[in-house]
Amino acid sequence: MTSSMTGFCFKEKQIKGASLIIELKTLNSRYFELNLRLADQLKIYESKVREMISAKISRGKVDCRIFLKIEENQATAYSVNPAELKTIVNATEKIAKSLKNPAPINPIDILGLLSNQTKVSLDKNIRKDVLDFLDDSLGMLVNDRQREGSKIRTVILKNIKLVELLVGRAKKIMPKVIKKHQSKITKKFKEALLDIDDSRLKQEFLLFIQKSDITEEIDRIESHIIELKRLINGSIPSGKKMDFLMQEFNREANTIGSKAISVDISNISIELKVYIEQIREQIQNIE
């Protein structure tokens, strides 16, 4: 399924003793880029979080923020734990005896130590909550990208149809253009010479065919159309391949323009380049 590279998801969930907040945002990028910010208590899961995100998203710039908002009553509980407090005070007194003129114990510093101990304990209990919640959030993000991708796919297919119509017009016009030019060459020879040299006339006409025939370019564009449809209807991300394919489309359209020996063919070349550029702009948003 076609997926856009742009998407957004914000979710908040209550877990024991805290609120878990996840924000995911993706933007267009040539490659996969991940900017990850985790709460201090969750940094031990960074490797797993990165693995989960890269498994779901293959291309685009990803901003992921995961926070924990500790409930106030939880913060108060650890600050008066007598056993932990006694352990820390005893340890600091032993250290103070080995120092000359030690600074007084700062209660705020002790509070910070107690806070860190509580966070470690919290980390051990919320791993499943965090990873399950991240998985749900990634699912929402992927769905959002696919909805946007479906709209992009519709626009691309519409423009592909217009390209097909232009190619069909060019194929119908070319025989008429060739016949008209053949008559034009014959007329010039009649006006310039008393006798028409058939071999010279054939040579002139053959040279014209070689310089102006766009059959190969038309055939290649039709082949590119088949491949582009296959990619956009496929189940794997193919944005990079489609982007490269559009360069080939544009090359053929330019060649048709350079070979144009009629206003109609020249106009078709210009219109082709317009629709090809519109398709390319849409593909820039595809994963």
H helix intervals, the chain: 46-56, 72-79, 82-97, 107-192, 198-212, 215-232, 239-259, 263-283
Here the contacts of 123-129 (C-beta below 8 Å, separation 24 or greater) are 123/41, 123/42, 123/44, 125/16, 126/15, 126/16, 126/18, 126/20, 126/41, 126/68, 127/45, 129/13, 129/15, 129/20
pLDDT at 68: 87
Q: Into how many domains does the chain fold?
A: 1
Dig out the tokens for 235 from the structure.
């189940």
H helix intervals, 58-106: 72-79, 82-97
Return the bridge partners of 26, or none. Answer: 7, 62
Using an 8 Å Cβ cutoff, are 42 and 123 in contact? yes
pLDDT at 36: 96
Is residue 194 situated within a structural domain?
no
We report the CATH number of the domain holding residue 61 as: 3.30.230.10
Q: 0.85 exceeded by the pTM?
A: no
Is residue 219 situated within a structural domain?
no
Is residue 23 situated within a structural domain?
yes
Is residue 259 situated within a structural domain?
no
- For the chain, which residues score pLDDT lower than 70? 71-81, 84-85, 100-125, 181-182, 185-211
Is residue 27 situated within a structural domain?
yes
Is residue 163 situated within a structural domain?
no
Dig out the tokens for 217 from the structure.
């370019």
Is residue 45 situated within a structural domain?
yes
Which domain, by its residues, includes 59? 7-72+125-146
Is residue 249 situated within a structural domain?
no
